[in-house]
Amino acid sequence: MTPPASTRPLKVWLVNHYAIPESAPGITRHATLARLMDERSDVETVIVSGRGHYWNVAEARDEKADRFESVPVDVAPANGIRRVLNMLHFALRVVTKGLRTPRRKRPDVVLASSPHLFGAVAGWMVARWFRVPFALEVRDLWPMSLVELLGLKGWHPLVAVMKVMERFVYRAADVVFLVLPGSGTHVQRVAGRTVRLATVPNGVDVSTLPEPGTPASVTTGGPVSVVYAGAHGVPNALDTMLDAWTIIERRPDAPAMTLRLIGDGKEKDNLRALVDERGLTTVTFEDPVPKPQVRERMRDADILIMTWRDSPLYANGISPNKLYDYMAAARPVMIAVDTPINPVAEADGGVSVPPEDPAALAEGLLRLAATSPEERARLGRNGAAYVHEHHDLAKVADRMAQELRTAVGRG
């Protein structure tokens, strides 16, 4: 006889096509949450993922990541019909894995994250097969993101299909976890009924943070270093960043500054070409590296920078992983976004300007560069304190574990 879930480890299947181990470059949120829930709440998580993202390749996987059970899906191509087919292929593989899993090895609950909705629906199907609760983590708002960021029309077949899927998974979930702090109203409206919600924002395992140290420019007297670390895609608005940097390089009164772009994505080649075309001499591109190395490079920076598109999508707030990595590094953040929920502004942790406004971004960067090292250090400390208080992933893991146990208890 199987003992009740309250007296044994809670067994969770976490379905996320693009989940990767903590040792890999990229978004490691779920690997960290799984570890923390295991350490703190006796939750055993199996992460069901694909074998790579189009910018987090399969070779980046850690063979020691025993929480992962990858399904055989090719590395995802860039946006287009092949990307959609890749998502469908992943969903089919997840369902097949569920059907082939003996019931004695079934989880107590299935949690599906929504980097895309096909994986979420597959998670629901597996939960139904196992006859266990289904939990949904809403990361990106689909299909709103397709309409607002990629310009698809409301009548596009993919948008129409995703609208049906979105409503279905919201209504089917026993609990909906929200990454975006202001998205609850959207979820309730689309679902058309009351949905149990729990906010689980992105954040940082603060116990793993190194000492912030002193920026290299302060110790060596070198140029002010501005660093971006993250994806190089359309939503990241790095073209705006380079437009602003063009203004700075052409300003005869600008201080000595450098811009380092760390990461990868389908826009990287276009961005390199733009730098070459404009003859920008203080911009460098670097390959993606695991999180510990990213943190070391942030320690060398004077300013960390992040840009967004000008989109109504961010009316629900923002909660990107890398923003909290930035703030936790105790460096001032230069942010370009239009949102009512702006962590940098709330923390007094840097400078905020409107999105897709190169002139405003250039002025903000120049203002931060002209600020004394002591003032930049103060802004950085403010950001780090904010992350410790509001975005410690240990606290997020505790909340998630509690909600999952509650869902299982309700049956």
- The C-alpha atoms of residue 69 and residue 188 are separated, in whole angstroms, by 33
Q: Is the confidence at residue 54, as pLDDT, over 50? A: no
Cβ within 8 Å of residue 343, ≥6 positions away: 318, 323, 324, 327, 349, 386, 390, 391
CA distance 320 to 202: 6
* Domain, as residue range, for 185: 5-203+392-410
Indicate if 105 and 125 belong to the same structural domain. Answer: yes
Same domain, 19 and 78: yes
**Confidence label for 25 from pLDDT (cuts 50, 70 and 90):** confident
Is the pLDDT reported for residue 399 higher than 90? yes
- Contact by Cβ (8 Å): 350, 368: yes
Domain count, the chain: 2
Confidence of residue 41 (pLDDT cuts 50, 70, 90): very high
The predicted structure's pLDDT at residue 1: 38
Average pLDDT over every residue of 2-13: 71
Lowest mean pLDDT across 107-121, 187-201, 213-227: 213-227
Asked if residue 394 lies in contact with residue 34, where contact means CB atoms within 8 angstroms, the answer is: no
Is there a single domain that holds both residue 177 and residue 245?
A: no
| Mean pLDDT, all residues of the chain | 89
Residue 360 predicted with pLDDT over 70: yes
Is 404 strand, coil or helix?
A: helix
Could you give the 3-state DSSP secondary structure of residue 240? helix
60 pLDDT band, cuts 50/70/90, is very low
Q: What is the DSSP letter of 254?
A: P
User: Rounded to 10 degrees, what is the CA torsion of 235, 288, 55, 237?
Assistant: 10
Q: Say whether both 259 and 372 belong to one domain.
A: yes
- Coil, strand, or helix at residue 265? coil
pLDDT in tens, 241-295: 999 999 999 999 999 999 999 999 889 999 999 999 999 999 999 998 888 888 8
Same domain, 216 and 327: yes
**According to the 3-state scheme, what is the secondary structure of 343-381?**
HHHHHCCEEEECCCCHHHHHHHHHHHHHCCHHHHHHHHH
Q: Rounded distance, CA 168 to CA 165, Å?
A: 5
For the cut 70, the answer to whether the pLDDT of residue 161 exceeds it is yes
Tell me, what's the pLDDT at 53? 53
CATH number for position 325: 3.40.50.2000
pLDDT of residue 266: 87
- Residues 215, 138 share a domain: no
312 and 215 inside one domain:
yes
Res 295: pLDDT:
86
- Per-residue confidence (pLDDT) for residue 52, from 0 to 100: 55
* pLDDT given at position 78: 65
Query: DSSP secondary-structure letter at 204?
Result: B
Q: Between the CA of residue 92 and those of 65, 88, 157, 198, 213, what are the distances in Å?
A: 23, 6, 20, 28, 48
User: Residue 318's pLDDT band (boundaries 50, 70, 90)?
Assistant: confident
What pairs with residue 135 in β-bridges?
Answer: 111, 175
- Nearest to 23, CA basis, from 290, 272, 260: 290
End-to-end Cα distance, the chain? 18
Residue 9 has pLDDT above 70, yes or no: yes
Helix (H) or strand (E) holding 138: strand 134-138
pLDDT of residue 32: 93
- Residues 73 and 199 placed together within one structural domain of the fold: yes
User: Under 8 Å CB-to-CB from 72, ≥6 apart: which residues?
Assistant: 51, 93
333 and 381 share one domain:
yes
Residues 223 and 304 in one domain: yes
Mean pLDDT over 63-67 rounds to 60
pLDDT at 361 over 70: yes
Asked if 221 and 180 sit in the same domain, the reply is no
Same domain, 134 and 215: no
Q: What is the pLDDT of residue 6?
A: 53
d(CA 116, CA 375): 41
For residue 144, what are the contacts with CB-CB under 8 A and spacing of at least 6?
A: 186, 313
- Residue 65 — pLDDT band, cuts 50, 70, 90? low
What residue has token string 């709440």? Answer: 41
pTM for the full predicted model: 0.86
Q: Which pLDDT does position 45 carry in this prediction? A: 93
